[in-house]
Every structure is written in C-alpha cells, then in structure tokens.
C-alpha cells in the first residue's frame, strides 16, 4: 500500500520517486488535465460565471492512471508547481477525481517545494497544507477573463477586419507597445548637431581628449552648434586658444551588485548576454529546475524559475557567503548579508529568486553534464546569485575642466577607473543602451594650472536618433514596469505575437507586421480602453487582490463584463466604411510616407488622377485606387516603395503581353491584392461558371520583364516532365501555393527556389522525388475508394496514411515491411484524423491547428438541458486541449 504523489512532468516524477522511495507512487499530470472547451458558452456570465471544463484524451488517460494508483492508498499529495498555475492543476486533478467519487477515505494534501533536491522534497512532504482557494479563484478569474475577451472580441475582429487573427487581453497591449514604438520611429525627425573635440597633452606629453562645453562665456546646449558653419567657427576659436587645467575634481563612487534573478530579469539578461529568446530561456531553466543526472542521481540545479521575488533563503545566503570567503577572498565579502526587495509593479514575492540549489556546484564542474544552452544559462544564474552577496565595486571618477585665460572657452574631460572590482570580478550586468566611453576611460595625472599642449581639433557631425525598437529583453522590462503580464506569461505573450504573424524579429528587435498594425489601429479606435496599459495593469492589480483574498472573483468579473459587453454591443452597427476611414486616418502616414522629392504620396501611379487608400476585401486589407472600377490598380498592404522584391513591380498595375498562340486570347500580367499574376482572357459576365486561367508569378520574376512565352508556360502548368525510369509513373511539375513542386502519383516534393519550373528536366525530377521517396512510400489504392495509401516516416516513427486518416505502424515493423493489406487493417483498427496541414508535407502544430479551428461554429444539435452532469459531459466529443487552443491565450 503506497501513497500517491502527483507532479506536473514525468522527469520530475522520476526524480521525486527516487527521493521518496517505495512507500510512494509518483505520477505526472503532464500539465493541465482539462481546460475550457474552445467554443461559445464555456463561460456563462449570466449564470454567475459558471464554467464548463473538458478533458482531452491525454488528460483523461492521466486521471485514469492516478485513479488506478489510488486503489488502497490513504493519502494523495498534490505536488504541482508552487504558483497559480500549479495550484490550478492540483485543483483540477482533485475536482475530476471527486466527480468520479474516487477520493472517499483518502486524505488529499497540497505540498510545494521551491527546488527539487532530496532535502527540499523531504521537508515539503512533512509540511502539507490545504489547497489555496484564493489562488484558485484568481486562476478562475484570469481564465474566464481571457476566454471572454478572446471569444467576444475576436469575432468582432474577423467580421469588421477581414484577414485578422485573434485578439487577447494582454498580448494586444504588448502589440500596441510595439506598434506605437514603430510609429514614433517613423515620425521621428532627426536633428543635426555638432561636437568639437580637442586632442590635448599634459606637461608629461600624456595625451587625452576634451569636449567643448562653453563658448563666449555661455554653456553650450546640444543644438547650439546645429550646422557646419557654426561648428567650424567654434573649431577655429578652439584652435586659436591656449589652454591650461582650470580644475580637477575627484570622487569615489560605489556600484552595488544587482539582485539575484527574477523571471523577467533572467529573460532580459539571457537575451542581452546569451542571445536566447524568452521561450528558449524558460525551456532551459525548466530543465535545470527539474533536474540533471549527476553521477547516477537526478538533481535539480536551480530553484523554481517563475518568480518575481528577489530574496533568497537564509541557508542559501549563508552558503554563498561561505563560498565567497573561501573561494574569492575575504575582501569581497561584505560585513553583513545583503537584503533585496523588488521594485517591480504588482510584485507578489511569493517565491525565492532564481538561484543555484547548491553553490558548491560550480558551472565549470557541471559543463560535461549539460547541453550548451543549459551550461550557459546555469553559469549566468550561478554568477548572478553569488555576485548579489559580494562587496560593492568602487570607482574613481575624475572630471577635468580646461580653459583659456579669458575664461570664455571651456572644455571638459571625464574619466573613470575601477579602484576595487568587488562583484565585478565575477559578474557585470548587461545593458540595453551603449555605455559612454567615459565610463571606462582613465585620464592621465594632472594638476590645476598645468599648461596643456593643443594638438588637433575635430568638429564632428551627429544626428539625434529615435528610441530603439523593442528587443525581447526591453519589452519584458517594459511590461514589468507598467504592470502587465506575470512571470509565467511573458514568454507566451511574445510567442503568441509571432505565431499570429503580428510581429517579426529582425536583428533581435521586434518589428510590427502590417497585419499587427491594422489590428492595433482597430482596437485603439474602437476598444481603446481595453488595450490601454493603465487599464490592463489595474485589472492585474484586482486579480492580485483576488489571490490575496482581498476581493471576490465574481464581483471583479461582473464589473469587467458589464462594461466590456456594452463596448462590444456598440460595434454591432459599425459599418465597414467607418472601419476603413478610421484605419486610413490612423495608418495613412505609415502606408503613404512623404516622397523625398515632394508630391502627393496618395496619387495613383496607374491612372494619375485617383487617390490611393486602404481597402478591405474578403481575404484582408489591401491598397486600391478611388477610381475603381475604371482604374483597377491595387497593391499588397506594404509601404509604398518597398514592394519591389519578389516580383512586386509593375508600376501601372496591368500589362498586356500579347495573344495566346493557340487560342488568340489576350495574355496579361496584373497586380492583385496578394501579388502579381498572369491571366489568359477575361471573365465572361454572362457565364459565371466559366473559369479564367490564372497563375501566380514565381518568386524573383518581375512583372515588367515577364515575356509572353514565360506567361504561356506558367498558364500551361502543371506539365508532364517525363516518365520515371524505374517506377514507370509520370512526373509532373507545377506551381502551387507554396512554390514550385514535382509530383508523381500522390507524392509531392518541393523544388528549390532556384529551380525553374518551366524547364526542369527528368534527371532533376527523379532526384527530387527520390529524396522524397526515402520518407514516403506508396502502397497502392485503398480497396474501398481507390485513393492512394502511403507509409510515411514521421517524427515518432513510421505511419500509414489514407486521405486524412493516419495510423501508427507497430514498433517492430519498418517502412519497407508494411504491405497494403496491413496498412488497410491498421487504418480500420487504429485510424484517426490527422491534424490540419500548413505547407505541403508539413503538419501544423497542434496549438495552431486548434486555434485555426476555434472560430468554426459547432454543428447544430438538439437543444441540450441547461446543466450537464459531469458524467454526461465526459461523453462529449473531446477536442485536443491546448493552452493556446483559442483566442484567449493570456
């Protein structure tokens, strides 16, 4: 008879089972075991925010395993992570077991630990507690909020702004920060200014430089020398003067060490120093927390990594101070331990800072046990924690003022040197901005009155610079400063923005996509309050009040929903023309920047008289001419002048190439909202069923240089390349949605961008298909519908496929072993629908697939009773659960 312990991950379960021994069975929940179904009605405000929960196949499997282990057990220990999400997972596990009446006579306890070490686990098991109800209610409020915002606001976006994705409560605010920073950069007007720098030497011939600060007895402001003439006049005045040292000011300053890491500062520093994104940082930190096998035993190397606290346990501080004394030196140990408190808005400080579980495990000793990412991150965490308890660094700062006898011209030189390195011996904090050269420059010895030799004088031109785009580090810092998001959500917020193609990362900086700017403009125009950082931060404070037991979660939800539902109702009569007008006004300066040579940036280049503006089509936004339909000029939604890449030329919007040699129909190349294409003939308004042949232009082909022969070739695709010399099947070449390809039977293989789909020969086609055949094999036609059955090599082993049905091949069978009859039997017995696909041959991740499926309304069924019992609810179809399976991702 054993007690049962439930943790989140199998790696953690394995480690803790070793620590606790044979008297315990440790199982993993694999994260959340159930979630809100991604459909309307999962949260019902009219029923006091009643919520329906649904477990997926994996969740049910884990609950079944836990239920089986509980037979004969006396106690159930819920040992999920020590934060809000961990508390929620424990609550879900208990609730599902209670619904099945499986907890009669079983004592359910909650245990938490901040590190996965034998001592910490034993201590935690000796101090069980009840589930934290306020923390659970805070989770319920957050989940309901995110669901209601996503499932109420997203449909408004889809209806009023075609082509847009989903909206979320917190990521919409983060997107607004990125878009507003980009707008500031675009509207920024650089200002010219000059500096004058004199190269001087002391009586001992030691060189140094000094900057001009005073002219004519007056201190210079930044823009006093704002052109070349003024700068050269100032330079001449300096060249005509004789200088000496007017004053020397020395002072010693202390620089204190930064506190140990919180989640946000860890993500920021890993981005600055290691070039690791927030998601990669948290993945490596999770691995270090859950444990690494050292000499046959799995041991957690760092404390829990989702935290906003900067304090460390007393025993950890004592161990670090002992290490500093013995390994670094007594001079580097302050007289008293350092105490830290966080400055972040809304910080809970419920957990320790991120630190090593044992300071004696030095990074250089563990390198062979860790991956490169793990090693570098552990080194960063270890050094930061140790440095936080070291002596302050001391710097000698020197300021020298240089003047001429009349005192009308003054120059200044600054320098700084490290007198005592202190914590800098081990760790130096990264910065988003560049340090001044004066921060690390040492000046030569000099005294007041020393004559100086003037050697060279330089006048340098400068221009003011806008604020830089957000990096992952600076965006996380900004979100923390204004109080939006929480330690567990920073990484997912940034990931969601990229997954929805609202932003992209270039040179580790966020650039908003035009789709993201449209969504932000729409939300700020019609839902300004709900993408306001102040409102979102205030809502976060209310959620924190719930977790601390100071507020009722249903009261907070009721107040929010009343206002939000009213705002949604006001958009029901919103016309598309109103949306276009608002977006055109908001984003006009972005899409139509002033030309360098002057003129109207909105003048249509095709007809010369129309005005270009934002248009909304069935599939999204584009730019069109006001003279439509007489002028059919359109272009993709990009800034004018940037569309030249990838065949996006064709200034007139339409070009006639000639007549088709066989049919005599006119061949034209045109610009559509989504790019350039060639067309054969024109649509017949009297015969709507007649289809006009069209083909997109391959990447790299320009509309202005397209020839008639090329166009005819594209319109004839797909074409037969030849017969496969070994298999005897015809091979085709074509141009699909995702680029050029070759096809043989049911097997598709992508061509390289450099391949010319119009001239590719048999040898190249055989080579490309041969590589594809290494991972795909056709077995023949299915006996029922004669559709092809194939066996493919997948990530987790081979599987058979028939249409949209797949089934895994038994582990003792290889791809070459599988026969058609065996595949048909496997599909009949174990077949399941495959996930939706993205690019040809590439599965869409489950989360993206679920998100894509979210807006599709459920089939109509007979009206169910208002309340559904858990027993009947379990019989409902179970969609794949995902934290981002809906537009409600936090």
Q: Which residues are catalytic?
A: 304
- Exposed / middle / buried, residue 642 (Cβ in 10 Å: 0-12, 13-18, 19+): exposed
CA nearest neighbour of 151 among 447, 452, 666, 561: 561
Rounded to whole angstroms, the Cα distance separating 488 from 350 reads 13
Interacting residues of 655 by C-beta distance below 8 A, sequence separation 6+: 668, 669, 670, 703, 704, 706
Work out the angle at residue 742's Cα, subtended by the Cα atoms of residues 736 and 747, and round it to the nearest 5 degrees: 100
Q: Which residues of 755-780 are buried (b: 16+ CB within 10 A; e: fewer)?
A: bebbebeeebbbebbeebbeebbbbe
The DSSP H or E segment spanning 402 is strand 393-403
Q: Return d(Cα 727, Cα 724) in angstroms, integer.
A: 5
Element (H, E) at 50: strand 50-51
Q: What is the dihedral of CA 217, 223, 228, 234, to 10 degrees?
A: 10
Token pair belonging to 40: 């309307």
- The phi, psi pair for 861, rounded to 5°, reads -130, 165
Helix (H) or strand (E) holding 238: helix 228-239
Q: How many CA atoms lie within 13 A of 14 on its CB side?
A: 13
Place of tokens 């669901």: 147
* CA dist 644 → 596, 648, 649, 696 (Å): 18, 5, 5, 16
Q: What are the phi and psi torsion angles at 657 (to 5°)?
A: -100, -25
Phi, psi of 416 (to 5 degrees): -150, 135
What's the number of CA atoms in the CB half-sphere (13 Å) around residue 707? 4
**If we measure between CA atoms, which residue out of 147, 79, 143 comes closest to residue 114?**
79
C-beta separation of 624 from 222 below 8 A: no
Q: What Cα–Cα distance (Å) separates residue 190 from each residue in 194, 197, 463, 511?
A: 13, 22, 6, 20
Rg (CA), the chain: 34
Structure-block tokens of residue 498: 């990229």
3-state secondary structure of 122: helix
CA dist 478 and 872 (Å) reads: 46
Q: Which DSSP string corresponds to 404-451?
A: -TTSS-EEEEEEEEEEE-GGGGT-----SSPPPGGGG-PPPP--TT-E
Element containing residue 245 per DSSP (H, E): strand 243-255
Q: How many residues does the chain have?
A: 890
| The two three-digit tokens of residue 295, written as one number | 């000499």
Q: Distance of CA 107 to CAs 1, 5, 103, 133, 680, Å?
A: 14, 12, 8, 17, 76
Cite the beta strand spans of 493-589 per DSSP E. 503-506, 509-512
Q: Looking at residue 603, what DSSP letter applies?
A: B
- H/E element holding 578? helix 576-591
Distance CA 888, CA 836 (A): 21
Cα–Cα nearest to 845, from 490, 500, 488, 487: 500
């Amino acid at each position: 008879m054993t007690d049962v312990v439930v943790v989140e991950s199998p790696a953690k379960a394995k480690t803790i089972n070793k620590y606790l021994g044979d008297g315990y069975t440790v199982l993993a929940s694999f994260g959340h075991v159930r979630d809100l179904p991604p459909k309307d009605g999962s949260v019902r405000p009219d029923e006091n925010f009643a919520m329906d929960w649904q477990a997926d196949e994996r969740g049910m499997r884990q609950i079944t395993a836990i239920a089986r282990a509980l037979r004969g057990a006396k106690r159930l220990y819920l040992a999920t992570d020590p934060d809000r999400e961990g508390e929620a997972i424990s609550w879900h596990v208990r609730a599902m077991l209670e619904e099945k009446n499986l907890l009669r006579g079983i004592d359910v306890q909650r245990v938490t630990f901040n590190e996965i070490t034998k001592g910490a686990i034993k201590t935690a098991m000796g101090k069980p507690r009840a589930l934290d109800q306020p923390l659970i209610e805070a989770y319920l409020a957050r989940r309901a909020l995110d669901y209601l915002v996503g499932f109420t606001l997203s449909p408004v976006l889809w209806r009023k702004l075609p082509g847009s994705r989903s909206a979320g409560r917190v990521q919409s605010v983060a997107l607004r920060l990125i878009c507003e920073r980009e707008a500031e950069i675009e509207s920024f007007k650089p200002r010219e200014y000059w500096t004058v720098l004199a190269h001087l030497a002391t009586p001992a011939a030691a060189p140094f430089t000094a900057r001009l600060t005073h002219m004519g007895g007056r201190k210079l402001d930044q823009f006093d020398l704002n052109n070349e003439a003024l700068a050269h006049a100032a330079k001449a005045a300096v060249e005509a003067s004789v200088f000496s040292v007017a004053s020397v000011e020395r002072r010693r300053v202390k620089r204190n060490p930064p506190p140990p890491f919180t989640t946000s500062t860890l993500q920021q520093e890993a981005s600055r120093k290691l070039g690791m994104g927030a998601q990669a940082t948290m993945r490596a930190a999770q691995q270090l927390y859950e444990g690494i096998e050292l000499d046959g035993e799995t041991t957690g190397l760092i404390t829990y990594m989702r935290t906003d606290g900067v304090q460390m346990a007393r025993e950890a501080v004592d161990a670090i101070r002992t290490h500093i004394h013995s390994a670094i030196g007594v001079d580097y140990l302050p007289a008293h331990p350092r105490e830290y408190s966080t400055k972040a808005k809304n910080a809970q400080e419920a957990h320790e800072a991120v630190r090593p579980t044992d300071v004696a495990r030095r990074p250089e000793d563990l390198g062979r046990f860790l991956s490169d990412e793990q090693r570098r991150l552990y080194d960063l965490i270890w050094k930061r924690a140790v440095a936080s308890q070291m002596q302050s660094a001391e710097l000698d700062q020197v300021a020298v003022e240089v003047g001429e006898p009349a005192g009308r011209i003054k120059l200044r030189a600054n320098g700084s040197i490290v007198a005592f390195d202190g914590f800098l011996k081990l760790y130096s904090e990264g910065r988003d901005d560049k340090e001044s050269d004066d921060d690390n420059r040492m000046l030569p010895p000099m005294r007041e009155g020393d004559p100086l030799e003037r050697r060279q004088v330089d006048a340098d031109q400068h221009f003011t610079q806008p604020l830089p785009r957000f990096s992952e580090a600076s965006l996380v810092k900004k979100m923390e400063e204004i109080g939006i998001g929480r330690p567990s959500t920073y990484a997912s917020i940034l990931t969601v923005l990229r997954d929805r193609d609202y932003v992209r990362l270039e040179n580790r900086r966020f650039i908003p996509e035009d789709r993201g700017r449209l969504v932000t403009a729409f939300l700020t125009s019609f839902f300004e309050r709900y993408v306001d950082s102040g409102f979102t931060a205030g809502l976060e404070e209310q959620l924190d009040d719930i977790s601390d037991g100071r507020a009722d979660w249903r009261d907070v939800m009721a107040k929010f929903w009343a206002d939000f539902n009213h705002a949604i109702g006001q958009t029901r009569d919103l016309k598309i023309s109103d949306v276009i007008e608002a977006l055109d006004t908001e984003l006009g300066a972005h899409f139509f920047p002033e030309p360098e040579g002057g003129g109207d940036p909105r003048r249509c280049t095709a007809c010369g008289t129309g005005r270009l503006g934002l248009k909304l089509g069935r599939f999204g936004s584009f730019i069109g001419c006001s003279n439509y339909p007489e002028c059919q000029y359109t272009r993709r939604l990009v800034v004018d002048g940037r569309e030249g890449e990838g065949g996006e030329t064709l200034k007139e919007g339409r070009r006639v190439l000639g007549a088709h040699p066989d049919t005599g129909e006119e061949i034209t190349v045109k610009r559509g909202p989504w790019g350039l294409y060639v067309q054969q003939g024109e649509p017949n308004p009297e015969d709507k069923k007649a289809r006009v042949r069209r083909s997109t232009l391959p990447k790299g082909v320009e509309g202005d240089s397209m020839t008639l022969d090329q166009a005819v070739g594209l319109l004839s695709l797909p074409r037969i390349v030849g017969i496969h010399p070994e298999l005897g099947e015809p091979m085709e070449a074509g141009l699909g949605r995702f680029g050029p390809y070759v096809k043989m039977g049911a097997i598709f293989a992508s061509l390289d961008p450099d391949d010319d789909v119009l001239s590719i020969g048999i040898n190249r086609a055989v080579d490309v298909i041969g590589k594809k055949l290494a991972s795909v094999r056709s077995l023949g036609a299915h006996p029922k519908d004669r559709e092809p059955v194939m066996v493919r090599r997948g990530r987790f082993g081979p599987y058979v496929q028939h249409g949209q049905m797949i089934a895994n091949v038994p582990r003792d069978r290889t791809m070459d072993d599988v026969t058609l009859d065996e595949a048909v039997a496997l599909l009949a017995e174990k077949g399941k629908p495959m996930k939706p696909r993205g690019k040809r041959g590439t599965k869409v991740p489950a989360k993206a697939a679920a998100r894509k499926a979210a807006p599709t309304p459920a089939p109509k069924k007979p009206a169910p009773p208002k309340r559904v019992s858990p027993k009947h609810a379990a019989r409902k179809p179970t969609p794949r659960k995902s934290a981002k399976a809906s537009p409600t991702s936090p």
